[in-house]
């Protein structure tokens, strides 16, 4: 039993590594901050107690404690409906379905942001790897990571936790008048 557990744990790590590893080389991947302990200032400020009241326990863990949901378990890893994805903490529009693609890694993946400067990037050396973490530029909540193996012209892949975003479908049958 123990070895099975160990096996699935290392599988999960492998999946994570396969999805997010690789020393970033794309110049677009320049972090906005390299200081892990610096308090970055964000327009929207809330205390952790306030965030705990607003967010579900899973959202709090991912958004405020930089947690990672297990691959293929989030509600958006496989969605294809047209619409927008907002920050689940503050409501800022971060991504569009036009830029969403199936990266095969089990997390919602986007090749671009809804608009420039929607996220801030910083170095993340956890799990023994160098990755670039992305945070909501409005409220500083953790979204996921960005790497340089994306399909778009910028070559970027934003690998985002479903728990960090809220989807809103584009209305398709608007009245004409
Ligand atoms: Zn936010």
For position 176, what pLDDT does the model report?
56
CA dihedral 43, 28, 170, 138 (to 10 degrees): -10
Q: How far is the CA of 169 from the centre of ligand 1 (A)?
A: 19
Beta-strand relationship, 119-124 and 83-87: unpaired
* 16 conformational bin, left if phi > 0, alpha if psi -120 to 50, beta if neither: alpha
Q: How far is the CA of 138 from the centre of ligand 1 (A)?
A: 5
Active site residue 159: yes
Q: Which of 90, 105, 139, 159 is catalytic?
A: 159
Percent of the chain exceeding pLDDT 70 equals 79
Write down all domains in the chain, each with its CATH number in brackets. 2-169 (2.170.150.20)
Q: Is the pLDDT of residue 19 over 70?
A: no
Q: Is the pLDDT of residue 11 over 90?
A: no
Q: Looking at the whole model, is its pTM more than 0.85?
A: no
Q: How far is the CA of 53 from the centre of ligand 1 (A)?
A: 15
C-alpha to C-alpha distance for 14 and 107, rounded to whole angstroms: 15
Q: How far is the CA of 5 from the centre of ligand 1 (A)?
A: 35
């Amino acid at each position: 039993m123990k070895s099975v557990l160990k096996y699935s744990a290392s599988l999960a790590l492998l999946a994570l590594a396969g999805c997010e590893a690789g020393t970033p080389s794309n110049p677009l991947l320049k972090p906005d901050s390299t200081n892990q302990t610096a308090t970055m200032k964000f327009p929207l400020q809330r205390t952790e107690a306030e965030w705990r009241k607003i967010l579900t326990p899973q959202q709090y863990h991912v958004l405020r404690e930089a947690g990672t949901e297990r691959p293929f378990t989030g509600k958006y890893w496989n969605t294809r409906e047209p619409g927008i994805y907002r920050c689940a903490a503050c409501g800022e529009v971060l991504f569009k379905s036009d830029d969403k693609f199936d990266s095969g890694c089990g997390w919602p993946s986007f090749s671009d942001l809804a608009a420039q400067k929607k996220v801030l990037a910083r170095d993340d050396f956890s799990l023994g790897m160098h990755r670039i973490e992305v945070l909501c530029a409005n409220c500083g909540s953790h979204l996921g990571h960005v790497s340089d193996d994306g399909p778009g012209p910028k070559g970027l892949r934003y690998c985002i936790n479903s728990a960090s975003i809220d989807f809103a479908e584009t209305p398709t049958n608007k009245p004409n008048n």
